[in-house]
Amino acid sequence: MTSFLSKSIRQIGRGAMLAALVALPPLACTDLTEVPNDALTPDNAFKSDAELIAGIASVYARLRNPMWGYYNLSEITTDEVVVPTRGSDWFDNGRWLEIYRQTWTANSGSALDDMNGAWNDAFSGVARANLMLEILDKSTATTNEQAKAELRVLRAYFYYQLMDFFGGVPLVTGTALEANPRVSRDSVFKFVEAELLATRETLPLTRDAGEYGRLTRGAADALLASLYINAGVFTKDQGINANTYNSCAGITVSGGKDACQAASDMADSVITSGVYTLATDFKQNFSTTNEASPENIFVIALTNQPGLGMSFAMRTLHYNQLSTGGGGPWNGFATIAETYNQFDHAADKRDAMWLVGQQKSFNTGQNVNDRTGAPLIFTPTIGNIESATEGEGVRYNKFPPLPNALAGDAHPNDFPIFRLAEMYLIKAEAQLALGNTGAALANVNLVRARAFDPPKPLAAISPDVIMQERLFEFAGEGKRRQDMVRFGHFLDARQFKGSREAYRVLFPVPATQIQSNAKLVQNPGY
């Protein structure tokens, strides 16, 4: 009996043990739900006003990226900036010379790098705006309508850049990740116009100091003015005049208006808003404290933090001229003698943007040497852009650096996308196209008045005169390519460059973009 019992117990025990072991797996965890510890997801993000403002800030943050791709391509393709190869330095797969000489192809270094970067930069701004707009649509926060208007203007600005560079692009306002075909350039033009017209009234005329940097009605109006003045280019996929002025006259825009009239009206809307005045000192617009300039309409607000500032000084100054927390400058961008010599070195205050001759340190004020130990002297002449010496080429110092900035890309000068001077010049250009030479001349001279002491007004006006005045006023502000295309001089031969084919007024769609979106059709000619 005992032995039977013990045997039974043993068997039961063994069975239970077996059951327990076999039963273990299902008991153990098979729950595979994943909740990120170090990131938010759509399920738990944007539940407060602070989170929403942070989301909006992230869209504004995308304004900084175009200061590389969009800016460089807008400058180096023109007579304002050349990047000579110095030794192996700045060779970079030949891309800088290729941009200057306009010899890019859809597969070349500049297309795969800079143009692709410009495409991605602008579109990521569009995508962030689309995402935040979708989130705001579901949100009940109080500042909703104004925030949405702001985001729509930002998005319109990114599309404006894309249209400027590539022509028609996929026009997307949702957040689904899918391949979309390009629409016509005119459709993008109409979209940007409609978005700006629909939102401008919602935006405030002015902002409190605490909101400096956020968009106002002036920004929307200035963007519209620029859009309209470029209507002769922006509404056309093909048939842009390669060698003559592309006037806005004769193109009908919203409300049946002539585009030139619309450009003039929008420029006027800004000029007469009472919010902006020309800064008395031209240099004030570009200083490290230029947030105080009364002329700013639409700026990229920058600050002395790594990655949150400007790096133009780094691109152009010599290695030994400046010492920031992120090291010395890169000795790249220079201008050609042909352009430098157009400036009135004697009288035009705007000529002060150029650095020429013996150079001093921005930190110590002492003369500096180049890296071989010889005195650093910038010369207007560049012997050979494929093999320049360290000192060849005049440099631009329009946005003077902050010595000891925390990093090379931390110079706190705000970048003006639009400032009041441009509204006068747009108005002048529009009035000239509409046949009002007097009004045109008056507006140009109004801008010139500040640059000369005693004044040196112009007596005659033509599109080419306006283009040149825009060079003096906006050199280094990333506007030259758009201007040269509009005025029909983009493809002209110039120092170190031959004349180029008409199709190059548009950049190629970068090959990498076509690889990831088979619906994209290449621009003609490439």
Partner 1 sequence: MAKGRWVVAALLIGTALGSPLRAQGTGSVSGRVVDSTTQQPVANAQVQVVGTQVGGLTRLDGRYFLTGVAVGAQRVRVTRIGFGAQESAVTVTAGGTATADFTLAAVAATLSEIVVTGYGSQRREAITGSVAQVNADEANKGVVTNPNQLVQGRVSGVQMVTNNGEPGGGVQIRVRGGTSISASNDPLYVIDGVPLQNEQTVASGPSVGFDAALPRSPLNTINPSDIESITVLKDASATAIYGSRGANGVILIQTKRGSARAQTGLRYEGYAAAASPTKELGYASGDEYRSFVQQQVAAGNLDPATATSLGTANTDWEKEITRQAYSQNHNIAFAGGTEATKYRASLNYFEQQGVVVSSGLKRYQGRLNGLHSTFGGKLGIGLNLAASRVNNDYIPFENGGGFTGGVFTNVAIYNPTRPVTVTDPTTGKQVYYETGSGAQDARNPVAMVKQISDIAPENRVLGNVTGTLTLLPSLTAQTTLGVDYSGSVRQTYIPRVNAIGASTNGYARQSETNLQNLNFQQLLTYNPNFAQKHELDLVGGYEYSSFDNYGFAVEAQNFVSDQFTWNSLASGVAGAAPPPTSYDNESKLVSFFGRANYGFANKYFLTGVLRYDGSSRLAEGNKWSTFPAISGSWRLSEESFMSNRPLGLSTLALRAGWGIQGNQAVRPYGTQLLFKADPGARYPFGSGLTTGLSATQVANPDLKWETSNQINFGIDYGFKNDRFSGVIDFYNKKTKDLILEVSVPQPAVVSTRLENIGDLKNTGVEFSLDSRIFEATKRNLTVGLIGTIDRNEVTSLGEGRSFVGTGDVNGQGQTGRLSQRIMVGQPLGTFWGPKFLRVNEQGKQVFFCAKERPECVNGETTVPAGDDDEILGNANPDFTLGLTSNGRWGNFDASWLWRGEFGGDVFNNTALVYQTKSAVKQGRNFLKDALNDPDGLAEPAIFSSRWIESRSFVRLQNITLGYTFDARSVSKFSRSLRAYVSGDNLFLFSGYNGYDPEVFVSRGLAARGIDYVTFPRARTFTTGLQIEF
Q: Which of residues 71-130 bind partner 1 (CB under 8 A)?
A: 85-95, 97-98, 103, 105, 107-109, 111-113, 119-120, 123-124, 126-128, 130
Nearest distance from residue 195's CB to partner 1, in Å?
A: 15
Kindly tell me which of 259 and 314 has the beta carbon lying closer to partner 1. Answer: 314
Nearest distance from residue 34's CB to partner 1, in Å?
A: 4
Does 179 engage in binding with partner 1 (CB under 8 A)? yes
How many whole angstroms separate alpha carbon 445 and alpha carbon 428? 10
How many whole angstroms separate alpha carbon 411 and alpha carbon 287? 10
How many whole angstroms separate alpha carbon 300 and alpha carbon 332? 23
Site for partner 1 in 206-245 (CB under 8 A): 208-214
Kindly tell me which of 261 and 523 has the beta carbon lying closer to partner 1. Answer: 523
Nearest distance from residue 418's CB to partner 1, in Å?
A: 18
Binding mask 276-315 for partner 1 (x = CB under 8 A): -------------------------xxx-xxxx-------
Burial (CB count <10 Å: 0-12, 13-18, 19+), residue 143: middle
Burial (CB count <10 Å: 0-12, 13-18, 19+), residue 134: middle
Site for partner 1 in 466-485 (CB under 8 A): none
Kindly tell me which of 438 and 498 has the beta carbon lying closer to partner 1. Answer: 498
Going from the C-alpha of 286 to that of each of 202, 296, 451, the distances in angstroms are: 29, 10, 14
Site for partner 1 in 442-461 (CB under 8 A): none
Task: Show the CA angle centred on residue 456, arms to residues 454 and 462, nearest 5°.
Answer: 165
How many whole angstroms separate alpha carbon 449 and alpha carbon 104? 40
Selection from 460, 463, 433, 486 nearest residue 235 by Cα = 486
Going from the C-alpha of 380 to that of each of 29, 82, 197, 334, 474, the distances in angstroms are: 74, 12, 45, 9, 20
Does 521 engage in binding with partner 1 (CB under 8 A)? no
Residues 46, 55 contacting (CB under 8 angstroms): yes
Kindly tell me which of 39 and 459 has the beta carbon lying closer to partner 1. Answer: 39
Does 30 engage in binding with partner 1 (CB under 8 A)? yes
Site for partner 1 in 403-422 (CB under 8 A): 406-407, 410
Residues 159, 126 contacting (CB under 8 angstroms): yes
- By CB under 8 A, which span of 322-330, 343-351, 392-400, 489-497 interacts with partner 1? 322-330
Half-sphere exposure of residue 105, counting CA atoms within 13 Å on the CB side? 3
- Answer for which of 144, 250, 327, 435 binds partner 1 (CB under 8 A) is 327
Structure tokens at 438: 């007097």
Binding mask 483-512 for partner 1 (x = CB under 8 A): ---------------x-------------x
What's the full length of the chain, in residues? 526
Nearest distance from residue 180's CB to partner 1, in Å?
A: 7
Does 51 engage in binding with partner 1 (CB under 8 A)? yes
Nearest distance from residue 95's CB to partner 1, in Å?
A: 6
Does 359 engage in binding with partner 1 (CB under 8 A)? no
Kindly tell me which of 184 and 437 has the beta carbon lying closer to partner 1. Answer: 184
